[in-house]
Structures are given as structure tokens and as C-alpha cells.
A = this chain, B = another copy of it.
Amino acid sequence: MTHSGSDPHSEPGAGAQRWTLARRAARMNPSVIRELLKLTERPGVISFAGGLPAPDTFPVEAMRAACDRVLRTDGAGALQYAASEGYGPLRDWVARSLPWDVDPAQVLVTTGSQQGLDLVGKVLLDAGSRVLVETPTYLGALQAFAPMEPQVEGVRCTDAGLDLADLEARAPGARFLYLLPNFQNPTGRSLAEAPRAALSALARRTGLPLVEDNPYGELWFDAPPPLPLTARDPAGCLYLGSFSKVLAPSLRLGFLVAPPALLPKLLQAKQAADLHTPGFNQRLAHALVEGGLLDDHLPRLRTLYRERRDAMLAALAREMAGLDVRWNRPEGGMFLWARLPAGMDAAQLLPQAVARGVAFVPGAAFHPDEADRDAPRTLRLSYATATPEQIDRGIAALAQAIASHRSPA
């Protein structure tokens, strides 16, 4: 450690010598997607790249009324420090809203479900611990776990779900399997009842703990998804939920439901992380959901996203004819997963697509194992924020980019 200058502006990077970074800092890197999104935020570009919900769905007026009510009713209480566990009435509501027998004492309110992942990593992962994830999986989970320096292993997956033989081979000694069974980010795929039941049985039989992340479950199109894995084996599962997709992301409100044996350590990690989730926001959310907002709001969200999914499916069928592109049909959520012809690389395609006015996220970033042969061909398309008309134009532009990429002029 050498002495360095006092003015950060006079020497670029001055001070770096004095500071020693933790070893785990080497695992922390800017999100590839975040960097990509900057490229795609050019005016006029139709973006299927974001992971944002449609802002026109936010219940702005109801929120305004809730702010007023909460501050008029108990302004001082709403603005004071609060319990690390979360606001009691909101924990009660969460427990009641879930389709299995949940004691409100098992509910911990988190600052977004992203914080739930951070707490799970802190409490359950040592350096070198083996964590199983779907292939591909939610990038934010990989980022949340990374500071704890685990060894992350991708379980083979098909459109129907996890390859149970591969999962069983990897289960012994793994700390947990992290998965999103409903309308997964990035693929939009879901676990149907039969593979879900089989996965649950395998987890019980092998003693493999599950961390079930369910931010999109309420955004179903035709029928509600099958019962959560946690409902089938509450002692063996840790469940993460979120208000980001059903109310508004900016409140940063999520929750976790943990087996009683894990709750004390998760609570302690929560207290150390940010003392508590903003109490004002928790009261706002409680005022909204207790007031019945979701009764109308969720059907409206489902209809909107279904229309946009349908528009994207129709546009893909129309525009991709003959291009050897494949895609899935998500039954809820915000994302659709597509696969380019063999040999084509979505990351190489992206700049050409952006030049034609459309953006997406190459799928490779979501793959835990860099060696995955199939990864470079994949891409994630969000239909959440574009109108059907924009979807038509965007998919047409994407088809042109693919066609010209296949046979360069």
C-alpha cells in the first residue's frame, strides 16, 4: 500500500493503491445486458430488449390516492423506522394470498425480490458451494450469488423443463436448485404439472433444497400455472415473490417465504443489509392490495400482455417464414425465446438489427456455462412494452436483419 495523491482529479485512478479490494470483487462485473441496453436505447429503435413492465399499466392514480390516505392516517408511523421483518399487515396479506398454508411469521419483506436472492446467497452459500440453475437462467440471480463465490452449474433444460437425469446426477452436495417455474426470464417457458410434480418428487427424494422464484406467476394468459413447488414441500423450499410486475417496480417490494428453521438467519442478514424495506412503500402496497386493486388490475395486465404476445407470435409466423428461425409460445409473463439458424450468432446480429431499428438481448448472457454450444444462437424478445403496431414493425425489421445476415450483400 503506497501513499497516493489527495486529489482524485489530478491523477486518474489515484487512491487505487491505498484500497485493497475483496477477492469476491473479481466476480462482480457490469451486467452485459445493461451495457447492451445502452446501445439499444437509440431514439427510434423498437426495443424488445428490456425487462421492464409496460409503464402504461402502472396504477398511478390509485397510488396517488394511497399516498394521501397513508400519510393522512398515520403519517408519522409511515415515515419512522420499522421492523426488519416487514409491515405486519402486508406480511399477513402475502401469507393469505399464497396457495398453501403460510404462517405470516415465515414471510420476510425484501427490497425487491433481488434482495431476496442476495439474502439467500449470504445465508446459504460459501465460496465454492455448488448451486444448480436452469439453462438459461435469470441473470440477476447469477449476479446476486456471485459475491459469495459459489460454483454455479447449469442443469440441462428442454422446452418442457429440466432434464431430471442431469439434475439427479448433480443434486448430491448442491446447496440448492434455483429456478423460475412460471414464465421464466429469459425464456418465457413454464413447468407444466407433470414435470413439476416429478421435479418436486426428485427434490424430496434426493434432499435437494429448492429456491423458487416467482415474479411472473400472476401474469398468466389462459390458465393459472400449476401449484408452486413450495406448496408441495414447504420445508424443502424457499419461495421468492415480487410486487414489481403486479404493482410497480420502483417501489422495490418483494418477499420471501422460508422454512421456520431458516428465517432467523435470513432476518439477521436482512437487518444487516438495509435495516428494513421502506415502510412507506410497504404501507402503500398494502393499501392498494387490501383495497382490492388487483381484482381489476391483474385481469387488465393479463389481457394487455396476452395481446402483445399474440401480436408477436403472429408477426413471427408472418415475417420469419423460410428463415429457419424457431421460437416458443409463452403462456404468460413478458418474454419469448427464439433460436436463430445453426451457425448464426445473436450477438453479431444485434448491431445490424439495431441499425434497422429493432433491439433484442442475445441469449448467451443468460447461460451459466460459457461452453453451451446452443447459447450463441438464442435471443430473448420482450413483448411487454411495445404496442402491437410496434411489434409488427420490429419483427419485420428483425426478419430483414436475419435475412441479410444469412446472405450478406
Map CB proximity to B onto A298-328 as digits: 1 under 8 Å, 0 otherwise. Answer: 0000000000000000000000000000000
Question: Given A2-B207, A15-B236, does the pair A272, B147 have CB atoms closer than 8 Å?
Answer: yes
Please state if B68 and A235 are interface contacts (CB–CB under 8 Å): no
> How far, in Å, is A29 (CB) from chain B's closest CB?
6
Bound Cα distance A280, B114 (Å): 17
Check A64 for interface membership: any CB of B closer than 8 A: yes
Bound Cα distance A252, B397 (Å): 44
Which of A60, A146, A148 has the most C-beta atoms of chain B within 10 angstroms of its own C-beta? Answer: A60
Bound Cα distance A19, B4 (Å): 46
Check A143 for interface membership: any CB of B closer than 8 A: yes
Chain B residue at minimum C-beta to C-beta distance from A83: B34
Question: Given A15-B235, A124-B20, A235-B7, does the pair A81, B118 have CB atoms closer than 8 Å?
Answer: no
Question: Given A22-B122, A71-B67, A261-B19, does the pair A5, B235 have CB atoms closer than 8 Å?
Answer: yes
Q: Return chain B residues, CB-CB under 8 Å to A262.
A: 15-16, 19
Known: A51-B81, A64-B72. 4 other contacts (CB 8 A): A52-B80, A81-B244, A115-B273, A250-B278
Q: Return chain B residues, CB-CB under 8 Å to A56.
A: 76
Check A224 for interface membership: any CB of B closer than 8 A: no
Q: Return chain B residues, CB-CB under 8 Å to A123.
A: 21-22, 25, 28
Q: Return chain B residues, CB-CB under 8 Å to A351.
A: none
Q: Which residue in B4, B14, B23, B236 is a CB contact (below 8 Å) of A4?
A: B236
Check A249 for interface membership: any CB of B closer than 8 A: yes
Q: Return chain B residues, CB-CB under 8 Å to A192.
A: none
Q: Which residue in B19, B208, B279 is a CB contact (below 8 Å) of A209?
A: B19
Could you list some 18 contacts between A and B, CB below 8 A?
A: A1-B207, A6-B232, A6-B234, A14-B259, A17-B207, A19-B124, A21-B265, A25-B122, A52-B80, A55-B76, A63-B79, A79-B251, A80-B248, A114-B274, A115-B273, A143-B268, A147-B269, A252-B274
Check A75 for interface membership: any CB of B closer than 8 A: yes
Please state if A251 and B280 are interface contacts (CB–CB under 8 Å): yes
Please state if A31 and B235 are interface contacts (CB–CB under 8 Å): no
Query: Residues on A close to B: CB < 8 A?
Result: 1-9, 12-25, 28-31, 34, 51-53, 55-56, 58, 60, 63-64, 67-68, 71-72, 75-82, 101, 106, 111-112, 114-115, 118, 122-126, 129, 140, 143-144, 146-148, 175-176, 204-205, 207-209, 232-236, 244, 248-252, 259-262, 264-265, 267-269, 271-281
Please state if A8 and B235 are interface contacts (CB–CB under 8 Å): yes
Q: Return chain B residues, CB-CB under 8 Å to A4.
A: 207, 235-236
Bound Cα distance A15, B115 (Å): 23
Bound Cα distance A52, B275 (Å): 12
Bound Cα distance A294, B12 (Å): 35
Please state if A250 and B14 are interface contacts (CB–CB under 8 Å): no
Q: Return chain B residues, CB-CB under 8 Å to A204.
A: 3, 6
Bound Cα distance A334, B13 (Å): 38
Q: Return chain B residues, CB-CB under 8 Å to A78.
A: 250
Chain B residue at minimum C-beta to C-beta distance from A203: B18
Please state if A80 and B250 are interface contacts (CB–CB under 8 Å): yes
Chain B residue at minimum C-beta to C-beta distance from A237: B15
Bound Cα distance A146, B15 (Å): 25
Q: Which residue in B118, B148, B278 is a CB contact (below 8 Å) of A273?
A: B118
Chain B residue at minimum C-beta to C-beta distance from A117: B272
